[in-house]
Amino acid sequence: MSDLRIGVFVCHCGANIGGVVNVPEVTEYASGLEDVVYAKDNLYTCSDAGLREIKDSIKEYDLNRVVVASCTPRTHERLFRNTCEEAGLNRFLFEFVNIRDQCSWVHMQDPESATEKAKDLVRMGVAKSRLLNPMEEIEIDVLPVAMVIGGGIAGMSAAKSLAGMGISTYLIEREPQLGGMLNKLNALYPSHERAVDFIKPVKEAVLNHPKIEVLTSAQIKDIRGFIGSYNVEVQQAETSRSLKVGAIIVATGAQALTPEGFYGYDGQNVVTQLEFEQILADSDKVAELENVVMIQCVGARSEERVYCSRVCCTAAVKNGLLLKEAKPDAQVFILFRDIQTYASDFEDYYFGARDKGVIFVRYAKDHPPEVTDSVVRVYDQLLGVQLGMPYDLIVLSTPLIPHDDAKELATMLKVPLDENGFFLEAHVKLRPVDFATDGIYLAGCARWPSHVGEAVSQAQAAVSRAAIPLLNGRVRVEPIVSRVDEELCIGCELCESLCPFKAIQVKMTDSGRKAQVITASCKGCGACGAACPQHAITMQHFTNLQIEAQIDAMAATMVSGD
């Protein structure tokens, strides 16, 4: 292997790495490693100048391996691989060394050790790079058919938008009718359009669209496959159908918390905001209301549930306004902690409610309101006085919480939930409607409590993301997958039972029972390879030889006592 020519690029990442790790020292060290013919430090390796430098030096120094020591492969590996490819080097002859998360960040208080560790990691990266093999990405076909799970406003909007792009779509709803949460609402804010009037044309458009097939009273039983070809088993009454789709959008919504044990909740005199919607729809009941007191953050922003449910303040403003419009002499108090009417429309709406005489009272988390038989007592933080408000109805704003079976669906889809039980997107900042798993996307309250307009926007965004593979008809996937040596495999099925992606199956072949990998499903996690008692499974790009070379490189200094 004397023809190895390795280039090492060490990134300062401004002060992110360079403020702790002595980058010039690491670069100098790298240049002395065996087979390294070029080593350079950059202020930002990922800048246009840094990338150009990689490309130029691949050509100038005839590099056949490139090692970048910088941040994290999660955000930057693709960029550097593309850069290598543009300069004519196979994209898998690139090795990433993370000296930001693993050195400058975690050893911020100890720059010297951070620098030494960076050298160790670079040496290990160089050792692995020597054994890298060129590989080609795998192309797989994508069936141009989509499935949307959940027939609320997000799901219906997604289906409509997909069909508008010419993509055939299945819309799966477990209830007998479409509409989701909107079926339980009285009116929408800030327009005060009746919810049924709003969703009726949407339902009709979805039900009548030739490209959309709606399955109501339908349960998802099983999901197998991978981007491009999912096989979804759907149960409707006695019949079960197996549907083949290329991509899936999750729009299953959320549910309102039932406030058992809060403020004497009984569903009669003390109701939830959602129950109040039904009262507001009934003019006889509205006529009887004189004094309504609403309490915000019931079961939210508390020790057991830290998060703010985003939609409840605006919902309370809406219902306060609707009551005032129907019965101007009724008293409406909204007891809040922080009013979350962000942006322009909602803030205007909040202003309007105050103009119309809805009274807002700020209370502190540690002085919650007290409900007696006749009055609600609360300490008004802004007036600095204790208030007592008579009531004939108390309305509790409770947060949206995940559906009870969200976990079950997540398990079938093999996607994660966040700490509150909502579906977890690939990146909270820049990939809000993607899952980390290719081919599955997310919209609406299944992700996070959202207003109707926001849910629609997310649904259309999910369509935009899903349309990329669906319209192209194919995707490229990484060849970092496991490979079975059938001569060594004894068909023990240990790998099959461990694979979290159902990507490895033991099948009967001419030479007996052998494990086979479904390349497109394999995520390269390595569980099978680690467990195989026969060492019959090799992880491409993370072979035993490559990993051992890294360990040897790590141990080299320990042995020499360096």
Partner 1 sequence: MSTDVMIIGGGIAGIQASLDLADMGVKVHLIEREPGIGGHMAQLDKTFPTNDCAICILSPKMADCFSHPNINMMTYSEVKSVEGEAGSFDVMVTKKARYVKEDECTGCGECVEKCPTRVPDEFNMGLSNRKAIYLYFLQTVPRVMTIDKNSCLKLTRDRCGICQQVCDKDAIDYEQQDQDIHLSVGAIILATGFSLVDALPLQRYGYSKIQNVITSLEYERLSCASGPTGGHLERPSDHKVAKRLAFIQCVGSRDTRRSRYCSSVCCMHSTKEAILASEHEPGSQSFIFYTDLRAAGKGFQEYIKRAQEEYAVTYVRGRVGEINENWNGDPVIWYEDTEADQVKRMTVDLAILAPSLRPVSGSAELAEVLSIELDEHGFFKTNPYLGGETTKEGIFACGYCRCPMDIPESVTSASSAAAGAGSIVFGAQRSVASS
Which residues, numbered 21-80, are part of the site for partner 1 (CB under 8 A)?
43-44, 46-49, 51-52, 71, 75-76, 78-79
CB of 343 to partner 1, least distance (A): 4
Q: What DSSP state is assigned to residue 520?
A: T
Q: State which residue, 327 or 431, has the beta carbon closest to partner 1.
A: 431
Q: Which residues pair with 380 in a beta bridge?
A: 385
DSSP 409-464: HHHHHT--B-TTSSBPPSBTTTBTTB-SSTTEEE-GGGTS---HHHHHHHHHHHHH
CB of 48 to partner 1, least distance (A): 4
Task: Determine if 456 is a binding residue for partner 1 (CB under 8 A).
Answer: yes
Window 257 to 316, contacts with partner 1 (CB under 8 A): 301, 306-310
Q: State which residue, 82 or 509, has the beta carbon closest to partner 1.
A: 82
- Quote the CA–CA distance of 455 and 446 in Å, as a whole number: 10
The residue within the footprint of partner 1, chosen from 106, 428, 545, 551 (CB under 8 A), is 428
Q: State which residue, 341 or 540, has the beta carbon closest to partner 1.
A: 341
Q: State which residue, 126 or 162, has the beta carbon closest to partner 1.
A: 162
- SS3 assignment, position 10: strand
- Total binding residues for partner 1 by CB under 8 A? 76
Distance of CA 147 to the CA centre of its chain: 18
Token pair listed for 373? 């038989």
- Quote the CA–CA distance of 152 and 178 in Å, as a whole number: 6
Window 121 to 160, contacts with partner 1 (CB under 8 A): 157
Q: State which residue, 82 or 557, has the beta carbon closest to partner 1.
A: 82
Q: Supply the Cα-derived Rg of the chain in whole angstroms.
A: 30
- Please state, as a whole number, how many other Cβ atoms lie within 10 Å of the Cβ of residue 541: 17
Contact, 297 vs 336, CB < 8 A? yes
Stretch that binds partner 1, among 8-16, 203-211, 222-230, 551-559 (CB under 8 A): 8-16
Window 317 to 356, contacts with partner 1 (CB under 8 A): 338-348, 351
Binding mask 472-501 for partner 1 (x = CB under 8 A): x-----------------------------
Q: What DSSP state is assigned to residue 450?
A: -
Distance of CA 541 to the CA centre of its chain: 27
Stretch that binds partner 1, among 32-40, 272-280, 370-378, 452-460 (CB under 8 A): 452-460
The residue within the footprint of partner 1, chosen from 32, 384, 510, 558 (CB under 8 A), is 384
Type and span of the H or E element at 283: helix 283-288
CB of 472 to partner 1, least distance (A): 6
- Quote the CA–CA distance of 311 and 416 in Å, as a whole number: 24
CB of 23 to partner 1, least distance (A): 13
Task: Determine if 514 is a binding residue for partner 1 (CB under 8 A).
Answer: no
- Quote the CA–CA distance of 276 and 274 in Å, as a whole number: 5
Nearest Cα residue to 19 out of 108, 120, 96, 117:
108
Window 159 to 218, contacts with partner 1 (CB under 8 A): 161, 164-166
What residue spans of 134-252 are helical by DSSP H?
Answer: 153-164, 195-208
CA-CA-CA-CA dihedral for 380, 381, 386, 391, to nearest 10: 20
Nearest Cα residue to 492 out of 476, 504, 501, 500:
504
Q: State which residue, 471 or 555, has the beta carbon closest to partner 1.
A: 471
The residue within the footprint of partner 1, chosen from 245, 293, 410, 461 (CB under 8 A), is 461
Type and span of the H or E element at 286: helix 283-288
The residue within the footprint of partner 1, chosen from 113, 231, 381, 544 (CB under 8 A), is 381
The residue within the footprint of partner 1, chosen from 73, 357, 421, 432 (CB under 8 A), is 432
CB of 447 to partner 1, least distance (A): 8
Stretch that binds partner 1, among 257-265, 323-331, 462-470, 476-484 (CB under 8 A): 462-470
Contact, 349 vs 341, CB < 8 A? yes
Q: State which residue, 86 or 548, has the beta carbon closest to partner 1.
A: 86
- Quote the CA–CA distance of 120 and 537 in Å, as a whole number: 28
Q: State which residue, 30 or 467, has the beta carbon closest to partner 1.
A: 467
CB of 301 to partner 1, least distance (A): 6
First to last CA, the chain: 26
Q: State which residue, 174 or 310, has the beta carbon closest to partner 1.
A: 310
Q: State which residue, 205 or 498, has the beta carbon closest to partner 1.
A: 205
CA atoms within 13 A on the CB side of 85: 12
